[in-house]
């Protein structure tokens, strides 16, 4: 996994939203532990070049930038509609989470 500072901050913000904590059953503290663990398991990426605009949804741009600058093999998301063929232009495969897990044999 690759992660930029901006993306880490976005994940932290999203995970602390009441609706997401309710859906996950996480307390605020547990959400912090989750995000901190995600950050610890990720390879930090510095964005050397912004590839914007490349996507329909500007909110997804930082995810694609992390993947491009981190030289990711795949971008794993449920949101294929917003990414279209943009990842493939950079040699990045677009996968659903279930397909990524199958490849990892989890």
- Total domain count, the chain: 1
pLDDT tens for each residue of 30-50: 999 999 999 999 999 999 887
pLDDT tens for each residue of 51-106: 889 998 998 999 999 999 999 999 999 999 999 999 999 999 999 999 999 998 86
Q: Which residue has the tokens 């070049």?
A: 49
**b/e per residue 44-64 (b: at least 16 CB within 10 A):** ebebeeebeebbeeeebbbbb
Show the domain range for 56: 2-104
Helix runs in 1-106, H state only: 5-15, 18-24, 28-41, 61-69, 80-83, 97-104
- Which among 69, 81, 74, 73 is positioned nearest to 95, based on CA atoms? 74
């Amino acid at each position: 996994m690759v992660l930029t500072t901006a993306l880490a901050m976005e994940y932290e913000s999203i995970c602390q939203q009441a609706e997401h904590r309710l859906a996950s059953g996480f307390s605020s503290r547990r959400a912090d532990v989750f995000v901190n663990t995600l950050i610890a398991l990720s390879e930090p990426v510095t964005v050397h070049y912004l590839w914007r605009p490349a996507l329909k949804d500007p909110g997804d741009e930082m995810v694609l930038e992390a993947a491009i600058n981190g030289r990711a093999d795949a971008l794993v998301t449920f949101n294929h509609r917003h990414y279209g063929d943009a990842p493939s232009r950079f040699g990045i495969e677009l996968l659903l989470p279930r397909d990524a897990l199958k490849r990892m044999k989890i």
